[in-house]
Amino acid sequence: MSLDKLEGYIWFNGEFIKATDTQVPLLSHALHYGTGVFEGCRAYNGKVFKLKEHNERLINSGNLVDVPLPYSQEELYEAVYKTLEKNNLKDAYVRPIAWRGCKSLSVASSANDVNVAIAVWEWPSYYSGDVLEKGIKLAKTKWVKPDPRSVPVESKTCGFYFVGGIVKNQCERDGFNDALMLDVKGNIAECTSSNVFFANSNNKEIHTPAPYSLLNGITRQTVIELANKRGYKVNEREIKEAEFEIFDEAFVTGTAAEVTPVGQIWGKDYKVGEITKQLREDYINLVNEIEE
């Protein structure tokens, strides 16, 4: 579905507006300077997985980049469910977003009010069944994740995703699904919009980059919890490219990707092994059995 033809309603600053009637002024500060924050959530069978955590991160992201939300976590929680109900959706992608408006185009943003909107739409699997069986292919890129001394990487901020967009566009043109990026120290970081894990099926150990220059994803944290319950040892640490040879499984995590196996990274092949399959199954079972 093309989102420019999205039907239904969007929650916009406390009111419902038809999606086709929603307009954002051309001179909005966020459009010119990236002063916006957002979340990506998933509703399964009418329940939004870890909505409280997503709302808390949205508010924290706004505080970190001076886009303070005028709504509490509880108000956002209620608004999300009202938006799903208004659109008669139970299985959906949920996109809350907050951004600075259009009173001033000075680089300083504080003169602009903060707007908040929530959109929902039907969301099938991010990758097809064939891809999930064989694993996705990850390319290499010259671009690296930002230095945490230059931007608050723990904020899910609109402007931070621009480089990821450049990288993913090139990946898809070249026949890859995504790219695995480095951090400024030359360590493995993450993909353009998902975290990465590696595994050794022989010793049941899992390795994932420490959240130095990457967003510590909510799905990432959930999968670490699931792995611990399974008795897997999870190592959060610096990972070098030279270590690729010691791993035989890899997978990525994210709200959209859920738990997706990786079949190839920078030309090295990985199997879709038992650890990856088990954690994907555990995650799918968890999100479909949400308890409030």
Q: Which residues are tagged catalytic?
A: 156
Contact 65, 107 (CB under 8 A): no
Contact 41, 119 (CB under 8 A): no
Contact 275, 199 (CB under 8 A): yes
The owner of tokens 């929680």 is 77
Task: Report DSSP letters for 57-112, one per residue.
Answer: HHHHHHHHTT---SS-HHHHHHHHHHHHHHTT-SSEEEEEEEEE-SS--SS--TTS
SS3 label, residue 191: strand
Q: Which of 84, 79, 73, 83 is CA-nearest to residue 45?
A: 84
